[in-house]
Structure 1
Amino acid sequence: MRIIITLFTLYVLAACSSAPPPLQYYLLDSPAKVSAPHTQTKRQIRLELLPLPEYLQQDGLVMRLSDSSLHVSRQHLWAQALQQSVPQVLVDALNNHQQVRFVTQSEPGALQAAERLVIQIRHLLIDQQQGAILSAQYWLLDQQGSIHFQGSFNQSQQMAQDGYPHAVENLQLLLKNLAAQIQTEL
């Protein structure tokens, strides 16, 4: 009996001493890509991102397990809040257009922009079957608040590999595709 108790105690101690899995941090925007300064731009548009859905207002990457079930990772985390990184990714992608300069709300001079591009992200997540998913709506408003155009974006990107790093790359790609769709409507 004493041997059984000793073995059980050793088993419990071994289980308690195992290290938790390491935390992984991911950037949505690329630190290597810095937007070049624009000169002689005729038109400036301020990008405004509406508040993200509650489930995206936390650090963990989100995976949809079924139509109504989400898993928020506690080991795979965003290095920066999505509310700040999503607009930066979009502005970097949108600024490929030569006649228009997009600025985030936090940039100097953003309040002088006469036009506003308002974006509402409805879903930005990973799905076990569909891959990466982005669903959004957007509106281009003039200084008086009149809508010049509006649109919606619903796209998924199948993942060629497993893992969160590849999923983050696909989420970046979807945001760039959203920017490309908006550019075609300008």
Structure 2
Amino acid sequence: MIKVFLTTLLSTLLAGCSVTESVPEIQYYLLDAMPTEQEIKLSTKQINIPPIDLPDYLQQPNLVMRGEQQQMHMARYHSWADNLGDSIRRVMAIELSQPTSDTNKANTCSPCVNLYLSIQHFYPTQDGQVILSGEFTIEQSSQMKKHTQPFFFSQPLKASGYGQSVVQMRKMLSLLANQIKEQMVKQVKVEKN
């Protein structure tokens, strides 16, 4: 009887030790909004957006967060659903082709504007900010004129979590697109004078 009791007790203890925690499900995120039918204003200007220049730490699938002392933390269970550079390129093409702009995105073009985008920082921080910085270059193909301009955006996160960070990151790309549009309008005014 004691042997049966000890065997049962030992089996129960061993079974308890073998129970492992379940691994969290990986969450995948897109920067693009849900697809919608878009009006694209046709104009004489075409925009060619070559592949986006990203630092190595952003060329991997995991979302990153900047911690203290210049450390980058790679999320284990939060990943981009698509290549980040390709996603940024699509977002910029959508943003720059909005009807309020005098521009439109093209895959290839001969007399057009080339938009080169180099991103150095694009992440949430441990202290609740989202950072987007880098530079863009607008190149007028027909006149071989170039304008390079740095950009920096920093905004507080409205709520915690990677999901909210991605929402905020998408909004920051809209701000960048607006800055690029403003610069393009300035360049068109200079060309006309």
* TM range, smaller chain: 0.7 to 0.9
How many residue pairs match? The answer is 178
Residue 43 of structure 1 aligns to a residue whose secondary structure is coil
User: CA 1:35/1:60 → structure 2, altered by over 3 Å: closer, same or farther?
Assistant: same
Instruction: Tell which deviates more after alignment, 29-38 or 54-63.
Output: 29-38
Unaligned runs of at least 5 residues, structure 2? 1-5, 185-193
Give the letter for the 2:120 counterpart: R
* Cα distance in structure 2, aligned partners of 1:176 and 1:132: 14
| Residue of 17, 20, 23 corresponding to 2:23 | 20
* Cα distance in structure 1, aligned partners of 2:168 and 2:126: 13
Residue 100 of structure 1 aligns to a residue whose secondary structure is coil
| 1:68, distance to aligned residue in structure 2 (A) | 1.9
Residue 167 (structure 1) aligns with: 165
Residue 112 of structure 1 aligns to a residue whose secondary structure is coil
* Cα distance in structure 2, aligned partners of 1:145 and 1:117: 14
Contact 1:49 1:120 in 2 (8 A): no
Match status 1:59 vs 2:57? no
Residue 83 (structure 2) aligns with: 81
Match status 1:45 vs 2:43? no
* Cα distance in structure 1, aligned partners of 2:143 and 2:135: 16
Q: Which has the higher strand share?
A: 1
Residue 35 of structure 1 aligns to a residue whose secondary structure is coil
| 1:8, distance to aligned residue in structure 2 (A) | 4.9
| 1:81, distance to aligned residue in structure 2 (A) | 0.8
* Cα distance in structure 2, aligned partners of 1:50 and 1:32: 21
| 1:32, distance to aligned residue in structure 2 (A) | 2.8
| 1:101, distance to aligned residue in structure 2 (A) | 1.2
Unaligned runs of at least 5 residues, structure 1? none
Pairing 1:99-114 to 2, within 5 Å after superposition? 99-103=102-106, 107=107, 110-114=108-112
User: CA 1:21/1:183 → structure 2, altered by over 3 Å: closer, same or farther?
Assistant: same
Give the letter for the 1:149 counterpart: H
Once superposed, what is the RMSD of the aligned Cα atoms? 2.2
Residue 92 (structure 1) aligns with: 94
User: CA 1:34/1:74 → structure 2, altered by over 3 Å: closer, same or farther?
Assistant: farther
| 1:102, distance to aligned residue in structure 2 (A) | 2.5
Residue 36 (structure 1) aligns with: 39
User: CA 1:145/1:35 → structure 2, altered by over 3 Å: closer, same or farther?
Assistant: same
* Cα distance in structure 1, aligned partners of 2:15 and 2:150: 59
Percent of aligned positions that are identical? 26
